[in-house]
């Protein structure tokens, strides 16, 4: 293929082989907790302790010594380093595994688990320990207004202007490890197809909800499929 910018959309499937749960698989997070109890602003207003407990547990899990980037994360970092045009990773994941693997151009459209947001002064800060209802904001000193820096249902995902600019300028759109169940990310493939110039490829364990919208697909575990796809791209044998 010709050398043009690439946008890579990633979802929970890319981090599964790193030891993190997906959401909608049989053993996924939504099989054990209800979205309405932990992943909406209403849930946080109703029962902040419960929501904090849910994210505290996941924050501890993310920092466990067993959780580390897998070959799929590392392949995307290599793609960014070696591809002669821009590569932007747009991730729905709130983990930091792309950064730990070496990716530098990463947009976390659903936020970051290792950050907190102050509802009082709007500061965003690194936060690696547990978060509680009485925690004080290091920026404004106000206690009780901190929340996990994550995007819940009904809230606006982050950096959408930057994402749509990148989608409008890319020649290849690659979607990895996402079920295509959550918008606006699920609509990105239709957006790039609408321009008519970009090629769209899905890399997933199984066909996603929008699989028929892609020009091409490769199915299998991300740790196997993604490095192989990146090798092909860098060798000039890509789609």
**How near is the Cβ of 49 to ligand BJW at its closest, in Å?**
17
What residues contact residue 183 under an 8 Å CB cut-off, 6+ apart? none
Contact set for ligand BJW, span 81-110 (CB under 6 A):
92, 94, 110
Helix axes 188-195, 160-169, angle to 10 degrees: 40
Q: Phi and psi dihedrals of 174, rounded to 5?
A: -120, 125
110 labelled catalytic: yes
Nearer to ligand BJW, 138 or 184 (CB): 184
217 makes contact with ligand BJW (CB under 6 A):
no
Residue window 39-58: x/- pattern of binding to ligand BJW, with contact defined by CB under 6 A: x-------------------
Q: Which stretch binds ligand BJW (CB under 6 A): 41-49, 115-123, 189-197, 202-210?
A: 202-210
Instruction: Using the minimum distance from each CB to ligand BJW, give the nearer residue, 24 or 120.
Output: 24
Tell me how far apart the alpha carbons of residues 50 and 87 are, in angstroms, rounded to a whole number.
38
**Of 45-53, 100-108, 131-139, 181-189, which segment contacts ligand BJW by CB under 6 A?**
181-189
In the complex, least distance from residue 224 CB atom to ligand BJW, rounded to whole angstroms: 8
Per CB under 6 A, 18 contacts ligand BJW: no
Q: Which of 5, 69, 71, 157 binds ligand BJW (CB under 6 A)?
A: 157
Verify binding: residue 70, ligand BJW, rule CB under 6 A: no
Among the listed residues 150, 151, 211, the one whose alpha carbon sits nearest the alpha carbon of residue 184: 151
Positions touching ligand BJW (CB under 6 A) are 11-13, 16-17, 22-25, 28, 39, 92, 94, 110, 150-157, 160, 177-179, 181-184, 204-206, 208, 221-222
Residues with a known catalytic role: 110
């Amino acid at each position: 293929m010709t050398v043009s910018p690439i946008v890579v959309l990633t979802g929970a499937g890319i981090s599964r082989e790193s030891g993190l749960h997906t959401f909608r698989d049989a053993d996924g997070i939504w099989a054990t907790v209800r979205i309405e109890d932990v992943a909406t602003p209403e849930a946080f207003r109703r029962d902040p302790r419960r929501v904090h407990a849910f994210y505290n547990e996941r924050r501890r899990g993310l920092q466990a010594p067993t959780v580390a980037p897998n070959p799929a994360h590392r392949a995307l970092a290599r793609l960014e380093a070696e591809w002669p045009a821009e590569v932007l990773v747009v991730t729905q994941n709130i983990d930091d595994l792309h950064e730990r693997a070496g990716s530098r151009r990463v947009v976390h459209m659903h936020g970051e688990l290792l950050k907190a947001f102050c509802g009082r002064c709007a500061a965003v800060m690194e936060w690696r320990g547990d978060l509680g209802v009485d925690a004080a904001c290091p920026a404004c000193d106000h206690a009780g207004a901190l929340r996990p820096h994550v995007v819940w249902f009904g809230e606006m995902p982050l950096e959408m202007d930057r994402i749509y600019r990148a989608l409008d300028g890319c020649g290849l759109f690659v979607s990895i490890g996402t079920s295509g169940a959550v918008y606006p990310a699920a609509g990105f493939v239709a957006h790039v197809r609408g321009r008519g110039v970009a090629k769209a490829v899905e890399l997933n364990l199984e066909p996603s909800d929008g699989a028929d919208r892609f020009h091409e697909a490769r199915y299998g575990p991300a740790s196997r499929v993604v490095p192989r796809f990146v090798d092909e791209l860098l060798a000039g044998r890509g789609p």
